[in-house]
């Protein structure tokens, strides 16, 4: 096992990784920007190294400084967390070339899943169901014939995309040329690549993703699904495990398909296969080759420590459990508490004057904030993740209401008031929502006082 790990991240996920390391007897190195000198992730790690000024591009993405921090401290492995360098294939490669271990998938798999056309063709060949569409890149000349074959409405997507950028719907052939050129322009501006592909547009799907763990001994297991349909502008707001839309047989079926596919691929580490789910069918959209923000809901219902497994796998260890050992118990919900206005989502950095985390049975609050902390304006606005677990979904909702009432974050605006409303909404209580529910709901609320 590693003796020392460098955590190439900040905020709540740096604390999460630090906790797993400490419990495994591994020493930790934090990196931080000049703006984060007082951050909790720096205080909790054994050592810390300043890697640059406040902007992420000059600190948490500063590869030479991060490699130098490993050399100075003697860290043998790097955990990238999520965001920043976590899905940068070149970084994973460079880490290996420096005799260090990247705690994550192989560079070739990160690269493969970063290109959406390659990802889709690869997983399709491995037996994962995909959205009907163009088999690969679409040229302007071939587009109309392909669309006619798929049937309208169709969706144009950027191969370098993700997060919804460069995505355009065409409801009929008359809209196709404009959708194509808009998608290409957006993709070129955002990713420097205007390659696009085409899919059947699904009107009212849910977003359901499968968590996978794969070791270097050929063992691959799935940890069931998370329903992440409640999103705003492609930012997840509320996630649950299991999905209100799935039963145990459906979970086992799609989970086994994913685990078998990644076995054939020779995948390593933690990964998430994202699907749209509509009318009882799963359609692959993307694969994430990183630890995800919402991993704690899976931990809650499986009792597993996903970060610990990532570290064990990276050190060459074998998964300690078989698929049959994975038992799903109860229901879990995560609310992302952001430092933003609850209804306009305008960022609200500043001094946190009061902080009281919720507690009690089945309540977990992953956060790096503290009373007197100045929440910085430079990074994402996630201030904490409230994760609630109970023996069924109804009790989970009751516990979530109770935990939200206990949570106090003063001095800045947060998204807590939004969740106070959501836990009382009939559609939410009934689990009756698609990927469009939240934006429609927010639009229906109108301007807020
Ligand atoms: C789709 C879709 C409908 N049909 N693909 C959005 C980002 C991304 N990674 C995939 N996305 C979508 N792909 C087809 N064929 C609708 C979306 C989508 C979406 C997906 C998941 C969660 C929220 C979403 C919000 C709007 C659109």
Question: pLDDT value at position 449?
Answer: 59
Q: What is the pLDDT of residues 349-387, one digit of tens each?
A: 999 999 999 999 999 999 999 999 999 999 999 999 999
How many Å lie between the centroid of ligand 1 and the Cα of residue 167? 9
From start to end of 145-219, where are the E strands?
154-158, 168-170, 196-200, 206-214
**How many other C-beta atoms can be found within 10 angstroms of the C-beta atom of residue 357?**
18
The whole-model pTM stands at 0.97
Same fold, 4-89 and 206-445: no
Question: Is 290 among the catalytic positions?
Answer: yes
How many Å lie between the centroid of ligand 1 and the Cα of residue 430? 23
Question: pLDDT value at position 154?
Answer: 98
Q: What is the pLDDT of residues 250-261, one digit of tens each?
A: 999 999 999 999
> Quick check: 262 pLDDT over 70?
yes
Strands 363-366 and 382-390 turn out to be antiparallel
Q: What is the pLDDT of residues 57-82, one digit of tens each?
A: 999 999 999 999 999 999 999 999 99
Question: pLDDT value at position 163?
Answer: 76
Q: Which of 411, 375, 365 is nearest to 10 (CA)?
A: 375
**How many other C-beta atoms can be found within 10 angstroms of the C-beta atom of residue 325?**
11
285 and 131 Cβ atoms separated by less than 8 Å: yes
Tokens, residue 116: 């959406």
Residue 208's alpha-carbon distances to 39, 222, 277, 326, 332, in angstroms, are 34, 14, 7, 19, 15
234 lines ligand 1 (CB under 6 A): yes
Backbone angles phi, psi at 356, to 5 degrees: -135, 110
412 and 346 Cβ atoms separated by less than 8 Å: no
Tokens, residue 408: 């106090």
Task: Tell me what the mean pLDDT of segment 166-185 comes to.
Answer: 95
Task: Tell me what the mean pLDDT of segment 399-415 comes to.
Answer: 98
- Of 290, 312, 336, 393, which residue is the catalytic one? 290
346 lines ligand 1 (CB under 6 A): no
Place of tokens 């009432």: 405
Q: What is the pLDDT of residues 331-354, one digit of tens each?
A: 999 999 999 999 999 999 999 999
> Quick check: 162 pLDDT over 90?
no
Residue 229's alpha-carbon distances to 154, 250, 385, 405, in angstroms, are 21, 18, 17, 24
Backbone angles phi, psi at 257, to 5 degrees: -60, -45
37 and 60 Cβ atoms separated by less than 8 Å: no
199 lines ligand 1 (CB under 6 A): yes
Question: pLDDT value at position 63?
Answer: 98
Residue-wise DSSP of 119-148: HHHHHHHTT--B-SB-SS---TTTHHHHHH
Q: CB within 8 A of 167, min separation 6: which ones? A: 155, 156, 157, 158, 161, 183
Of residues 161 and 229, the one with the higher pLDDT is: 229
437 lines ligand 1 (CB under 6 A): no
Backbone angles phi, psi at 138, to 5 degrees: -115, 130
Q: What is the pLDDT of residues 115-139, one digit of tens each?
A: 999 999 999 999 999 999 998 999 9
Positive or negative: CA dihedral 172, 175, 177, 179: negative
Task: Tell me what the mean pLDDT of segment 294-298 comes to.
Answer: 99
414 and 340 Cβ atoms separated by less than 8 Å: yes
Q: Number of helices (H) and strands (E), helices first, in the chain?
A: 15, 20
Q: What is the pLDDT of residues 297-334, one digit of tens each?
A: 999 999 999 999 999 999 999 998 999 999 999 999 99
Backbone angles phi, psi at 230, to 5 degrees: -80, 95
How many Å lie between the centroid of ligand 1 and the Cα of residue 275? 9
Atom number, ligand 1, closest to the C-alpha of residue 201? 4
202 lines ligand 1 (CB under 6 A): yes
Please state which CATH number belongs to domain 4-89.
3.40.50.20
Atom number, ligand 1, closest to the C-alpha of residue 162? 9
The fold adopted by the segment(s) 132-200 is Dna Ligase; domain 1 (3.30.1490)
Q: What is the pLDDT of residues 416-448, one digit of tens each?
A: 999 999 999 999 999 999 999 999 999 999 777
Q: How big is the CA angle at 391 (ends 386 and 394), to the nearest 5 degrees?
A: 75
Task: Tell me what the mean pLDDT of segment 199-228 comes to.
Answer: 98
Question: What gap in Å lies between CA 386 and CA 388, rounded to an integer?
Answer: 7
How many Å lie between the centroid of ligand 1 and the Cα of residue 98? 38
Question: pLDDT value at position 447?
Answer: 75
Nearest CA to ligand 1 atom 8: 164
- Which stretch of DSSP H or E encloses residue 321? none
Mean pLDDT, the chain, rounded, equals 97
Task: Tell me what the mean pLDDT of segment 81-89 comes to.
Answer: 98
Domain chopping of the chain, boundaries:
4-89, 132-200, 206-445
How many Å lie between the centroid of ligand 1 and the Cα of residue 398? 30
- Is the domain spanning 206-445 CATH 3.40.109.10? The answer is no
Q: Which of 268, 357, 350, 352 is nearest to 309 (CA)?
A: 268
435 lines ligand 1 (CB under 6 A): yes
237 and 439 Cβ atoms separated by less than 8 Å: no
Task: Tell me what the mean pLDDT of segment 232-255 comes to.
Answer: 98
Share of the chain above pLDDT 90, in %: 97
Q: How big is the CA angle at 181 (ends 180 and 186), to the nearest 5 degrees?
A: 100
131 lines ligand 1 (CB under 6 A): yes
322 and 256 Cβ atoms separated by less than 8 Å: no
How many Å lie between the centroid of ligand 1 and the Cα of residue 19? 34
203 lines ligand 1 (CB under 6 A): no
């Amino acid at each position: 096992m590693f003796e020392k790990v460098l955590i190439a991240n900040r905020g709540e996920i740096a604390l999460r990784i630090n906790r797993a390391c400490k419990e495994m007897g591994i020493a930790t190195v934090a990196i931080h920007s000049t703006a984060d000198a007082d951050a909790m992730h720096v205080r909790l790690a054994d050592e810390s190294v300043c890697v640059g000024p406040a902007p992420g591009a000059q600190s948490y993405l500063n590869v030479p400084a991060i490699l130098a921090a490993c050399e100075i401290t003697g860290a043998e492995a790097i955990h990238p967390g999520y965001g920043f360098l976590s899905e940068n294939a070149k970084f994973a490669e460079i880490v290996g070339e420096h005799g260090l271990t990247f705690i994550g998938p192989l560079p070739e798999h990160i690269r493969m899943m970063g290109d959406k056309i390659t990802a889709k063709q690869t997983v399709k060949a491995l037996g994962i169901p995909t959205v009907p569409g163009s088999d690969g890149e679409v040229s302007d000349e071939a587009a109309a014939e392909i669309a006619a074959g798929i049937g309208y409405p169709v969706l144009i997507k950027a191969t370098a995309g993700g997060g919804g950028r460069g995505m355009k719907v065409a409801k009929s052939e008359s809209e196709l040329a404009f959708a194509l050129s808009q998608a290409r322009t957006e993709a070129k501006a955002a990713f420097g690549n205007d390659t696009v592909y085409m899919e059947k547009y699904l009107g009212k799907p849910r977003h359901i993703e499968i968590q996978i763990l794969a070791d270097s001994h050929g063992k691959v297991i799935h940890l069931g699904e998370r329903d992440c349909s409640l999103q705003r502008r492609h930012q997840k707001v509320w996630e649950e495990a299991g999905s209100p839309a799935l039963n145990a047989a459906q979970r086992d079926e799609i989970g086994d398909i994913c685990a078998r596919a990644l076995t054939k691929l020779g995948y390593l580490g933690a990964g998430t296969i994202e699907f749209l789910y509509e009318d009882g069918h799963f359609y692959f959209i993307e694969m994430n080759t990183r630890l995800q923000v919402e991993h704690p809901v899976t931990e809650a219902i499986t009792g597993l420590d996903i970060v610990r497994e990532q570290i064990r796998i990276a050190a060459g260890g074998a998964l300690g459990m078989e698929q049959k050992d994975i038992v799903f118990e109860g229901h879990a919900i995560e609310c992302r508490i952001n430092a933003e206005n609850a209804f306009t989502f305008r960022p609200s950095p500043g001094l946190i004057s009061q902080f009281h985390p919720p507690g009690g049975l089945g309540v977990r609050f992953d956060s790096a904030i503290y009373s007197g902390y100045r929440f910085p304006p430079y990074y994402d606005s996630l201030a904490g993740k409230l994760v609630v677990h109970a023996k069924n979904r109804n009790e989970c909702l009751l516990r979530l209401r109770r935990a939200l009432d206990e949570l106090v974050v003063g001095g800045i605006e947060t998204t807590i008031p939004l969740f106070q409303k959501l836990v009382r909404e009939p559609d939410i209580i009934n689990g009756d929502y698609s990927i469009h529910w939240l934006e429609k709901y927010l639009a229906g609320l109108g301007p807020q006082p």
